[in-house]
Structure 1
Amino acid sequence: MKKNPASSFHFPIFRCGTDLVDINRIHDAIKRLGAPFLDRVFTSQEQSDCLREGRLTHSAAASLAARFAAKEAVAKALGTGFGRQGVAWTDIEIKRAADGSPHIHLSGRALQVFDALNGLSTAISLSHERHMALAFCLLTCDPAEPESQDVQA
């Protein structure tokens, strides 16, 4: 009897996360806390992408708020939080592709968790309008048993 090739096919697992952020909240945090806040949450590349000439305009705050929302969305999709039990803010970086579209770069513990989930691909969508910034993250994972259970989400 022939084995049905479709019987060995596994549908991918999709993990999603979303977050909505008040742009003024991020603007105020940057004004109040300055460089320590920026350096804890954003990589130097993210800061230079958003803060033109180091100036905090509404446009810069909106871009940073969208990246803040993206990091929250990715952490939700990974099933972690931030801090001691979770990932570091800078383990999740939002970069720009040549065409200007955003993409996710993971490092450190965020990458370890993604690998433990058998992560195959990432996708991120960002938007901001007036006072709010939104991000939606989709992770595609292989449903096969992970090779190692050393890192738990």
Structure 2
Amino acid sequence: MIFVGNDIVEISRIDALLKKYKTHFLNKIFSKDEINIVSNKLHTSVHLSGKFAAKEASKKALMSAGFSNIYLKNIEVLNKKNGAPYIVVRDCNRLKNTDNLQLSISHTNEYATAIVILDIPN
């Protein structure tokens, strides 16, 4: 079966959270690897917004497939050598293979959006 999740994030909202709660916000939502990936980027809030949208979209797809107790911190949005994003879900025993999760992230100056497709064989 195919399950879909999508999300859109206002970049200014993430930027405001970073300014007000930087360390707390980062450590609550993002893994050390995710933080390291964006720390070298020029527009940190844009990249974090995309990752945040991807986490939310992933959670929606997983929950619509019947997964429960999915936390944003356990969903990692990492990058392949070519820069393409991919998803790793930690501490989810039922999800053995995250190759079944396909991710696309896009952004403008104001918004970041992500869509996740989860394909679970019958």
TM-score normalised by the chain length of structure 1: 0.72
Partner of 1:96: 79
Q: How does 1:4-19 map to 2 (within 5 A)?
A: 13-19=1-7
**CA offset digits 1:39-62 (Å, max 9, x no partner):** 010111111111228xxx5x1101
Any gaps of 5 or more consecutive residues in structure 1?
1-12, 144-153
Does residue 45 of the first structure (1) align with residue 33 of the second (2)?
Answer: yes
Q: Which residue of 1 aligns with 2:19?
A: 31
Contact 2:34–2:78 (CA<8 Å) still a contact in 1?
yes
Q: 1:28 to 1:119 in 2, by over 3 A?
A: closer
Q: How many residues align?
A: 119
Greater relative contact order (CA < 8 Å, ≥ 6 in sequence): 2
For structure 2, the residue ranges without an aligned partner over 5 or more in a row are none
Q: Does the C-alpha gap of structure 1 residues 73 and 112 become closer, same or farther in structure 2, counting only changes over 3 Å? A: same
Letter in 2 for 1:137: V
Output the TM-score relative to the length of structure 2. 0.89
1:72 to 2:53 alignment: no
**Identical-pair percentage:** 28
* Pairwise CA RMSD: 2.0
Paired position in structure 2 for 1:8: none
